[in-house]
Chain A
Amino acid sequence: MPRLILLRVLRLGTLLIGVSVLAFTLVYNSPIDPIQAYIGADVNITDEQLAKLREHWGLDRSPVEQYLAWAGSMLQGDFGTSTLYKAPVIDVMGARFGASLALMGVAWTMSGVLGYLLGATAAMHRGRLADRVISWYSYTLSATPTFWLGIVFLIVFSVWLGWFPVGLAGPLGVPAADVTFAQRIHHFVLPAITLSAVGVANIAMHTREKMTDVLNSDYVAFARARGESDSQIFRNHGFRNSVVPAVTLQFAYFAELFGGSVLAETVFSYPGLGSTLTEAALGGDVPLLLGIVLVSAVFVFTGNLIAEVVNAAIDPRVRRRA
């Protein structure tokens, strides 16, 4: 076991180095000039001002030097300063991480539970109306771009019905410190539903397939022959055998979840890591971008790790292989 942990930590370490080098290289070679993004496209500055800014942000040094300087301060826990927000990266991320985590957490739970239930129901009723409805829902939703669904929800529930606010994480004109929990929820529902609705489809369809395999197996045929009812079959054989791929998928879904939240947060002007990532990338804000990329890499890595552990806990065969 200690060996396994050490191995995982090592793997995470090399992953983070690889990801940061790749991200840095991509941003460094992108056509975006960080100084221009920093001062804004409309502002013309003198060459002296330009030189001072380059020096101030360390952009006059070679790319390798820049990367090493960044990595060095990273190891001391300093994420650097965001050029866009002119504030420490750790502060910018900290302010947004909570919002994103809540959004993704709820969407993740909802899509996992609902997706599994729908997928299992569909498989148990394969070919009948319930299955057809669920399959159609899933196919339609997985072909729906998150941002488009978000805009539709926005128009229907915020503009037409007026049930929900148009955006932001709190009510208009209320200082952040005075926003109540109920208000946060109110602003949170629509982006969370948008994000869950799309995730449900994926889990449901995979569960449906796995469950169908289980139901077509010899041991289920045998159980049926012994006179077990549908609910007994589900409890005794279906659940354990079909939940493994659902759980694996659910944790592996962390990556997509992050991608989806970028779009959902943008549509609803919801201040999470996702919308900040877009801003950082478009604005050539290297420190902020690297910070978020690293955090999301850890996030996705953790998701996969949990999937492995949970799999092992549920399925003895996986445990033995490990």
Chain B
Amino acid sequence: MPQDEEPPPSKAKRAWIATALVLIVVVGATVGVATRWGRGGESAPSLSERQSRGTDLVIAVGDVTGGEFDPLKGWGSRPAQIRLIHSSLLTVDEDVNFVGDLASKYSVSDDAMTWSFTLRDNARWSNGEPVTAQDVVFTYETLKKDGTRFDLTFVDRIDATDESRVEFHLKEPRSTFVSQLSEIPILPAKHYDADYSKDPIGSGPYTVVDYQQGQQLILKTNPHWYGQRPEFDKLTFLFLGEDAALAAARAGSVDIAYVPPTFADQRIAGMTLQSFETVDSRGLSLPTLPAGNKGKIQGNDVAVGNDVTANPAIHQALNIGLDREEITKIVLQGHGRPAYTLVDGLPWFNEKAVFEDGRVEDAKRILAEAGWRDSDGDGIVEKDGRKAAFTLMYPSDDKLRSDLALVVADQARGLGIEITTRGSTWDGIYIDGKANAVTWGGGRHHAHQLYSMYSSKTIDTGYNNMPQYSNPTVDGHLDRALSATTQDKANEHWKQAQWDGKAGFAGEDGDAPIIWLVRIDHLYLVRDGLHLGDQPIQGHGHEWALFNTLVQWRWEK
């Protein structure tokens, strides 16, 4: 007769061990058999194969697509993304100067309204046909007409004066056009149609062999590429999550893997951690208007303003009182550096905007001089019966920004300012973010971000100028920067907008509507001996940032 009770607890342990053993044996055996079977025609690269210095690379830095090679679907709206298989009129060098790519030379008219380009004569599509001025005109006219992916509203018309010359006539001067010229991939007019994504023809160093959505992208060299032949004949990009990418690196199957700062202390045999400086920055946006105002974000009506952060002394005290080094250490485990503007280290960065921070006493003095005093002894200052307290919003799925919010709140308390952190979604932040502080981010090879974040003319458009900041002096500098006729002049004005000696949005005595705090270093585990070229300061997005130097990648001698 079968027993009906469960096994008594005393035997539980023995049963557990038995279970574990059976499990291991069964699974192990199944798996072992299946492996030998599966390995019949297998060619998954093993550790030893990968370690030899071959002419192909396997790269796991996240999903490098997004737009599927077609600018009408967004290809190129991420920095340096197009450098894989396309070329553009301009590109950036290791010092973030805009230099010719398809264009062998270019000039801007004295009134900054006409931009003329001469194409290099040896540019070919991956099918061998020549790249012509008509292709350039076709690309820009198509994008301007579409109008969803690239803002080209300032372009009046585009003319091909002959096979190799193009002229852009603008409606208004726009010095930051150079950045777009380096991000827009040129399309083959003859071969572009709705199915372009399936078989993209480009004029870049590589061409697509196979694209497996959500899995991998396989590229081989474009035999008609006009530049120096790359050292690697084949590139395979794996779209793995961060954990899976690390597991793949451990298993020896990848040559380059992105690692977030929290994984940076992982050691993997045969690979070295390479760290790259970036302008991928994080900071705090603080409303500059008092509460009760109205405004727009992305076309929606929202409340604007905050009575505490509207006080300039709060901005200044936080700006000099927060300790950026300390924040970098805690939030990024040291894999980053302090940020003072959105553009630290770029050609349009004003070094006068850097100052000594972490000055708690000076910050308290600034608050006291502005009338903020701790009258009830709770460690938080008050003015006119109002506590120096506000809410800081962060996207709750972003660990870095939530850590940042917590550390900032902790440090601010030491200055006498009470910050309540509140996790939300981006859509939530876009509704409440103009009445509260937000952990803001940005950073591209694109000076236009300075204009869109600080010019009063961009208030209530897109999610530009979150703090609703307005300073006529800064506006003047920004306008002059945008309408400058040369890059040098533009950079000079961008610098003055940051700090011109009397006013500015950055620097120790600046308005600081957005207090920039840290720049994140991009970290990659890279196969020993692999040199990734002379990288410029990388832009936002670790997936694409490496590609500016794609053709310089090589094994070290």
Contacts and interface: CB of A to CB of B under 8 A. Distances in A.
A169 B37 contact: no
B43 A174 contact: yes
A53 B151 CA distance: 13
A186 B78 CA distance: 35
B38 A189 contact: yes
B214 interface: yes
A175 B210 contact: yes
A133 B214 contact: no
Interface in B5-53: 5-7, 11, 15-16, 18-19, 22-23, 27, 30-32, 34-35, 37-47
B247 A158 contact: yes
A51 interface: yes
B540 interface: yes
Interface in B134-177: 146-149, 151, 153
Contacts of A172: 44-45, 58, 216, 236, 238, 253-254
A168 B19 contact: no
Nearest to A92: B213
Nearest to A141: B23
B104 interface: no
A186 B33 CA distance: 11
A45 B463 CA distance: 8
Interface residues of A, number: 77
Given A43-B74, A275-B214, 10 more contacts: A39-B74, A39-B77, A126-B2, A132-B7, A158-B251, A166-B247, A182-B41, A216-B2, A269-B239, A269-B244
9 contacts: A48-B153, A132-B18, A133-B15, A157-B31, A163-B31, A167-B244, A172-B45, A193-B27, A267-B244
A175 B19 contact: no
A183 B43 CA distance: 8
A103 to B, nearest CB: 14
A73 to B, nearest CB: 18
Nearest to A165: B44
A215 interface: yes
B32 A151 contact: no
Contacts, number: 217
Interface stretch (A4-12, A30-38, A313-321): A30-38
A87 B527 CA distance: 36
Interface in A161-180: 162-177, 180
A132 B22 CA distance: 12
Contact of A49 (B56, B151, B254): B151
A140 interface: yes
What 8 pairs across the A-B complex have the smallest Cβ distances? A186-B38, A127-B3, A175-B210, A126-B2, A173-B236, A136-B19, A166-B248, A132-B15
Given A49-B147, A165-B253, A186-B38, A44 B31 contact: no
A58 interface: no
A50 interface: yes
A42 B308 CA distance: 28
A53 to B, nearest CB: 5
B241 interface: yes
B541 interface: yes
Contacts of B236: 172-173
Contact of A137 (B23, B218, B540): B23
B250 interface: yes
A177 to B, nearest CB: 7
Contacts of B234: 173
B272 interface: no
B80 to A, nearest CB: 13
Query: Most chain-A CB neighbours within 10 Å: which of B43, B58, B252?
Result: B43
A95 B441 CA distance: 36
Contacts of A140: 19
A56 interface: yes
B150 to A, nearest CB: 8
Interface stretch (B368-376, B422-430, B495-503): B422-430
Contacts of A185: 34, 37-38
B2 A189 contact: no
A159 interface: yes
Contacts of B463: 44
Interface in B67-114: 67-68, 70, 73-74, 77-78
Contacts of B251: 158-159, 162, 166
Query: Most chain-B CB neighbours within 10 Å: which of A85, A132, A276, A279?
Result: A132
Contacts of A129: 15, 18
Given A159-B247, A173-B218, A182-B40, A133 B22 contact: yes
Interface residues of B, number: 86
A41 interface: yes
A276 B253 CA distance: 25
A102 interface: no
A167 B19 contact: no
A240 interface: no
A41 B461 contact: no
Nearest to A126: B2
B214 A182 contact: no
A40 B74 contact: yes
B400 to A, nearest CB: 13
Interface in A74-117: 85-87, 92, 95
Contact of A171 (B11, B22, B42, B56): B42
Interface string B175-209: 00000000000000000000001000000000001
Contacts of A95: 213
Nearest to A127: B3
A202 interface: no
A292 to B, nearest CB: 14
B377 interface: no
Contacts of B16: 136
A182 B37 contact: yes
A129 B240 CA distance: 43
Contacts of B45: 171-173
B200 to A, nearest CB: 13
Contact of A182 (B38, B239, B441): B38
A218 interface: no
Query: Most chain-A CB neighbours within 10 Å: which of B4, B6, B44?
Result: B44
A87 B6 CA distance: 55
A163 B151 CA distance: 50
B461 A137 contact: no
Interface string B410-437: 0000000000000001111010000000
B72 to A, nearest CB: 9
B121 interface: no
B73 A56 contact: no
A136 B9 CA distance: 12
Given A43-B77, A185-B37, A269-B244, A173 B541 contact: no
Contacts of B31: 157, 163-164, 189-190, 193
A50 B462 contact: yes
A286 interface: no
A194 B425 CA distance: 33
Contact of B212 (A136, A176, A193): A176
Interface in B505-545: 540-541
B66 interface: yes
Contacts of B74: 39-40, 43, 86
